Structure 1
Amino acid sequence: MGLFTIERARRELTGLRSLLDEFVVVRADVVELSAALSDGGEPTTLGGLPEWKAAEARLNEMMTEVQETGAELKGIAPLLVDWPADLDGVPVLLCWLEGEAELTWYHRADLGFAGRRRLP
């Protein structure tokens, strides 16, 4: 897929929004179902083992869909998505974290999340 421009990464994020929103819901379902299936877990109206397996499978499908765009899924709770880019000759990752309204952060590829800065 190569490197992303800021504009292209923002378009990709816009295109992924409904999938990312679904991911948050299914992730919560997986956690609730997992708790209900463990010893002493509270019953849930979401179902049982078949629903848990289906939700897990859907999460895996969604992770693949994100990565097929060329984005890197770095975290799932919270969701953290990076797009490889070049900013003034420096390798960076354009960085979006669940809850952020738009793509406005980046970090150098060698520094990781702790080195996040606002896009110029």
Structure 2
Amino acid sequence: MDMKLFTLDEANVLLPVLKQELYKLQALIDEIDDRYLELQTIKAKHKLSAETRETAPDPYFEQESQLDFMRMEAELQISNFTRKGVLIKSISPGLLDFPAILEGEEVLLCWKQGEDQVSHYHGWNEGFMGRKPFP
């Protein structure tokens, strides 16, 4: 499969949609984290005796199943970025990379949540710390 390459304009045109998708993903991840912690708290408070465990259905099955489905939804949302050719480097805070060619060199145009537009780039091996303003 060929890697999609973006121009700076293409990345910025796509950015508003990606921002909305990222906010949804962040909200879902927050909800997963909250529900997971809630489930762990409930489990700690309600330890079942060995006798009850053998005869009763799993009291956590529904909550654990919901978490599994939420995780699958998060994976699907992440794969939506990948299908568009965008790399998610961090979900929270949001950090997105767009493969590009600059002066004949493969680079990543990068956007950090809070920035209005894609305006920086870095090499594939430099990472976020190697960001430079786009010329």
Q: TM-score range with shorter-chain normalisation?
A: 0.7 to 0.9
* Structure of higher CA gyration radius: 2
Q: Which runs of 5+ in 1 are unaligned?
A: 42-46
Give the letter aligned to residue 12 of structure 1. L
More helix by share: 2
* Structure richer in strand, relative to its length: 1
Offset from partner CA, 1:19-73 (integer Å, 9 cap, x none): 11101111111111121122568xxxxx932332222111101001010001112
Listed as ranges, the gaps of 5+ residues in structure 2 are: 44-61
1:113 aligns with 2:128: yes
Distance 1:40 1:114, change over 3 A: farther
TM-superposed deviation, 1:101: 2.6
When the two structures are superposed, what TM-score results if normalisation uses the length of structure 2? 0.74
Question: Alignment length, in residue pairs?
Answer: 116
Whether contact under 8 Å (1:71, 1:82) holds in the other structure is: yes
Tell me whether 101-110 or 66-75 shows the greater mean CA deviation: 101-110
CA distance in 2, matches of 1:52, 1:67: 23
Q: What is the aligned partner in structure 2 of residue 25 from structure 1?
A: 27
1:94 aligned residue (96, 106, 109): 109
Matching residue of 1:60: 75
Indicate the residue corresponding to 1:2 in structure 2.
4
Instruction: Say which structure, 1 or 2, has more relative contact order (CA 8 Å, 6+ apart).
Output: 2
Match of 1:37 among 21, 36, 39: 39
CA distance in 2, matches of 1:48, 1:34: 9
- How many angstroms apart in 2 are the aligned matches of 1:75 and 1:115? 16
Kindly report the root-mean-square deviation, in angstroms, between the aligned alpha carbons of the 2 structures. Answer: 2.2
Q: Percent identity?
A: 29
